[in-house]
A and B are shown apart, each in its own frame.
Chain A
Amino acid sequence: MWRDAVLVAGKDLRVEARSRVTTNQVAPYALLVLLLFGFAFDQDHRLLVQAAPGLFWVAVLFCALLAIARSFAVEAADGARDGLRMSGLDPAGIFLGKAAAVAVELAALEVLLGAGIVVLFGSDLRDYGLLVATAVAATIGLAASGTVYGIMSAGLRVRETLLPLLMLPVLAPVLLAATQAWRAALGLSSDDGWQWIGLLATFATIYTSLGVLGFGALLEGA
């Protein structure tokens, strides 16, 4: 399973490196979203700083939708998914590999967006441990749930519009928990930010388990 996961993750990251969709399209899109949020709150800088964690995670969410849609679009093109099925790879390995590749892309985008909120919004990063722990747990949850819903919608003609409809409601707890944890990490709230890590970790564990156990059936039905 792990060997297959590394193989699939390597392939997906190589596809992204060659196509440069993440660097040339998703990353500029993410920065543009932050910039537009900045314009929207330009009149009230204090409000912008207060809202920065939420705006950051909304931007990450939008990027996750693009990254996941892209991850399954490359499998849909030219019958590549049939090739993947015919390879005999462990479905759990395929799931973990695809989720890992999405997670790596999201992590890179989060670094970029993190720099964006510091530069554009003037956010003050304080608790680095909490920031990183939140980002890791939320990213795993986003990637795992996105990969599950990505394969569920992969075989449908309306997959481009269905994926956000399926995912956004499900990701509400991630958005809430990650925003609250980051508010604490940026010194914007006196709450214990670490309490939200538990919710994020639970979400990530549930969807990773679902993917490992159910991806094979979903892949066959796609």
Chain B
Amino acid sequence: MAPAIHFRSVVALVDGYPVLAGVDLDVAPREIVALNGANGAGKTSLLRACAGLLAVSAGRAEVLGTDLYGDVRALRRRIGLLGHSAGLYDDLTVEDNLRFAIRAGAGRPDRVGAALDRLGLSGRLRTVAVSRLSAGQRRRAAIAVIVARDPELWLLDEPHAGLDAEHRDRLDGIIADAVGRGATVVFASHEAERSRALATRTVTVAGGAVVDGVLPARPGPPTSEAGDGAVAPAATPGAPFPEPSARHAAHVA
């Protein structure tokens, strides 16, 4: 089974500067990979390259079986990216933002209500303009967009930042549930303890390259104390990648 992410000697430049300088990384389907590293190590750039937002200049780069040198428009619909910014329209309500994102991404509109409920944004908050939300509520709204889209690959940059304890735990449960449905998750975090508890593998990034954890290395399912969904087993070192869900298989095929 093809890896969800397969990078070999990947280089990416921003204004001529190599933000990714020869990245090697394999991520198996249904893995939860935590990216660790100092500020400026290249974690965000790696996530953006995986999303097809940062152009790859050299090396071999495939995500969900799609070559990143080709047309990545269809691939992007299969990926959910949570960046440092919420990526929402300030003047639209939380619900308007979700409905636009779902319709734009050819998702299922009936998932909007459930996603809002899951992030505690139902009721009055759903009709509030995003500009009037607190930082934590904006973060939850941005996560709700990804939950509603239900992508195959979740790329999360500091997903717990700005969230209170209750919603951090809730997010861990959401991630575990997504992996249980066949998704793959890669997230960058500075919170070592929470990362270790959530991830099936930790990858260290430094100087724009992966310096530790290139290949799927740690067996066993992800463990999230707050996780309330079934979690599929993660990849085992040296073993074939686990069978994906029917939804994922249809896309990869």
Q: Are the chains A and B members of one assembly?
A: yes
Which of A's residues lie within 8 Å of B, judged by CB?
4, 7-8, 11, 14-15, 18-19, 74, 77-80, 82-90, 220
Task: Tell whether, in the assembled complex, residue B85 and residue A15 are in contact, meaning their CB atoms are under 8 Å apart.
Answer: no
- Measured in the bound complex, the distance between the Cα atoms of B55 and A177 in whole Å is 42
Task: Tell whether, in the assembled complex, residue B104 and residue A89 are in contact, meaning their CB atoms are under 8 Å apart.
Answer: yes
Report which residue of B80, B91, B106 has the largest number of chain A beta carbons within 10 angstroms of its beta carbon. B91
- Residues in A neighbouring B96, C-beta threshold 8 A: 14
B79 interface residue (CB < 8 Å to A) = yes
Task: Tell whether, in the assembled complex, residue B91 and residue A79 are in contact, meaning their CB atoms are under 8 Å apart.
Answer: no
Task: Tell whether, in the assembled complex, residue B85 and residue A87 are in contact, meaning their CB atoms are under 8 Å apart.
Answer: no
Q: A7, A11, A83: which contacts B87 (Cβ < 8 A)?
A: A83
Given A14-B96, A79-B84: 9 more A-B contacts, CB < 8 Å = A11-B92, A78-B87, A78-B89, A79-B83, A79-B85, A79-B87, A83-B145, A86-B81, A86-B87
Asked if A85 meets B76 with Cβ closer than 8 Å, knowing A7-B104, A79-B83, the reply is: yes
B134 → A minimal CB distance (Å): 14
Interface residue range, chain B: 20 to 34
Which of B's residues lie within 8 Å of A, judged by CB?
51, 53, 55, 73-74, 76-77, 79-81, 83-92, 96, 100-101, 103-106, 129-130, 138, 145
Q: List 7 A-B contacts (CB under 8 A).
A: A74-B91, A78-B85, A79-B84, A79-B87, A82-B85, A88-B76, A88-B77
Task: Tell whether, in the assembled complex, residue A78 and residue B104 are in contact, meaning their CB atoms are under 8 Å apart.
Answer: no
Asked if A87 meets B89 with Cβ closer than 8 Å, knowing A82-B53, A82-B83, the reply is: no
- Measured in the bound complex, the distance between the Cα atoms of B79 and A89 in whole Å is 13
Who on chain A is nearest to B72 by CB?
A88
- Residues in A neighbouring B76, C-beta threshold 8 A: 85-88
Q: A7, A15, A89, A220: which contacts B92 (Cβ < 8 A)?
A: A15
Task: Tell whether, in the assembled complex, residue A83 and residue B103 are in contact, meaning their CB atoms are under 8 Å apart.
Answer: no
- Measured in the bound complex, the distance between the Cα atoms of B79 and A85 in whole Å is 11
Task: Tell whether, in the assembled complex, residue A87 and residue B92 are in contact, meaning their CB atoms are under 8 Å apart.
Answer: no
A81 → B minimal CB distance (Å): 8
Who on chain A is nearest to B84 by CB?
A79
Asked if A86 meets B89 with Cβ closer than 8 Å, knowing A7-B103, A79-B83, the reply is: no
Task: Tell whether, in the assembled complex, residue B85 and residue A86 are in contact, meaning their CB atoms are under 8 Å apart.
Answer: no
Task: Tell whether, in the assembled complex, residue A85 and residue B101 are in contact, meaning their CB atoms are under 8 Å apart.
Answer: no
Who on chain B is nearest to A216 by CB?
B73
Asked if A78 meets B90 with Cβ closer than 8 Å, knowing A87-B105, A88-B76, A89-B104, the reply is: yes
- Residues in A neighbouring B51, C-beta threshold 8 A: 86
- Measured in the bound complex, the distance between the Cα atoms of B141 and A115 in whole Å is 43
Q: A11, A14, A18, A86: which contacts B79 (Cβ < 8 A)?
A: A86
Task: Tell whether, in the assembled complex, residue B53 and residue A87 are in contact, meaning their CB atoms are under 8 Å apart.
Answer: no
- Residues in B neighbouring A82, C-beta threshold 8 A: 53, 81, 83, 85, 87
Task: Tell whether, in the assembled complex, residue B89 and residue A80 are in contact, meaning their CB atoms are under 8 Å apart.
Answer: yes
- Measured in the bound complex, the distance between the Cα atoms of B101 and A89 in whole Å is 10
- Residues in B neighbouring A84, C-beta threshold 8 A: 104
- Residues in B neighbouring A19, C-beta threshold 8 A: 91
Who on chain A is nearest to B81 by CB?
A86
- Measured in the bound complex, the distance between the Cα atoms of B92 and A4 in whole Å is 18
- Measured in the bound complex, the distance between the Cα atoms of B130 and A83 in whole Å is 15
A143 → B minimal CB distance (Å): 20
Report which residue of A4, A83, A220 has the largest number of chain B beta carbons within 10 angstroms of its beta carbon. A83
- Measured in the bound complex, the distance between the Cα atoms of B88 and A11 in whole Å is 12
A106 → B minimal CB distance (Å): 19
- Interchain residue pairs A-B with the least CB separation, the first 10: A79-B85, A83-B87, A87-B104, A88-B77, A19-B91, A18-B91, A79-B87, A88-B76, A78-B85, A15-B91
- Measured in the bound complex, the distance between the Cα atoms of B103 and A7 in whole Å is 8
- Residues in B neighbouring A79, C-beta threshold 8 A: 83-87
